[in-house]
Chains A and B, each alone.
Chain A
Amino acid sequence: SQQGEEDPQALSIQEGENATMNCSYKTSINNLQWYRQNSGRGLVHLILIRSNEREKHSGRLRVTLDTSKKSSSLLITASRAADTASYFCATDQGAQKLVFGQGTRLTINP
């Protein structure tokens, strides 16, 4: 079964608002990554957070990791129409595998 599960499955917000999506996973990890997928395209890496880190920032992105709860969150601040996409978390399994969740579909309304 898939390692990560994103919540919510779909999210629709107004441009300028913040978007938060969550990822839960089942087994211990070394790293957790977030990816974006625009419709019909391949996935693009956004950010990687290691198991000994609690928070990481990259531009308008903020990722948190709580290994005790086996969960992570991705916050996109001041959303833009171009942020409309699906977002996936991915976890390593024994460092070799990279396993993805089902994704959150984010829609930014103008």
Chain B
Amino acid sequence: NAGVTQTPKFRVLKTGQSMTLLCAQDMNHEYMYWYRQDPGMGLRLIHYSVGEGTTAKGEVPDGYNVSRLKKQNFLLGLESAAPSQTSVYFCASSSFGGYTEAFFGQGTRLTVV
């Protein structure tokens, strides 16, 4: 049982480049989340989805876009990467939002130079 899988695990981007982070879950969960984690800042919610075809903004959505075309996948896009987006990105999923436990991926360490 894979749970939540993030691809890639590491990436280095140059300023202005674009990339897509993929999150896949095999638990048939409705809710999916993208967080970023910076030293001393805890986890901050970027975007989330409450079901296939839906997306919503979190606390820090600027500079990111997301899509949930399939229930099992949640994609996070950076159209024009900036050094301020250097961070560790975590994807999570849950069956019913804040009412149930969330399962996390192993994280993607992104460096923008």
Contacts and interface: CB of A to CB of B under 8 A. Distances in A.
Interface residues of B, number: 30
Given A41-B107, A42-B106, A45-B103, A95 B97 contact: yes
Interface string A82-94: 0000001011110
A96 B54 CA distance: 12
B97 A88 contact: no
Nearest 9 CB-CB pairings of A with B: A92-B98, A42-B104, A102-B42, A45-B101, A100-B43, A43-B104, A96-B97, A95-B97, A98-B98
Contacts of A42: 4, 90, 104-107
A30 interface: yes
B19 interface: no
Given A2-B42, A88-B42, A102-B41, A97 B103 contact: no
Interface size class of A (residues with CB under 8 A): 20 to 34
Nearest to B33: A98
A99 B41 contact: no
Nearest to B50: A96
Interface of B: 4, 31, 33, 35, 40-45, 48, 50, 56, 58-59, 90, 92, 94, 96-107
A37 to B, nearest CB: 9
Contact of B42 (A30, A44, A100): A100
Contacts of B4: 42
A33 interface: yes
A96 B98 contact: yes
A77 to B, nearest CB: 22
B42 A98 contact: no
A30 B99 contact: yes
Contact of B59 (A2, A43, A101): A2
A45 B102 contact: yes
B53 to A, nearest CB: 15
Nearest to B41: A102
B93 to A, nearest CB: 10
A102 B40 contact: yes
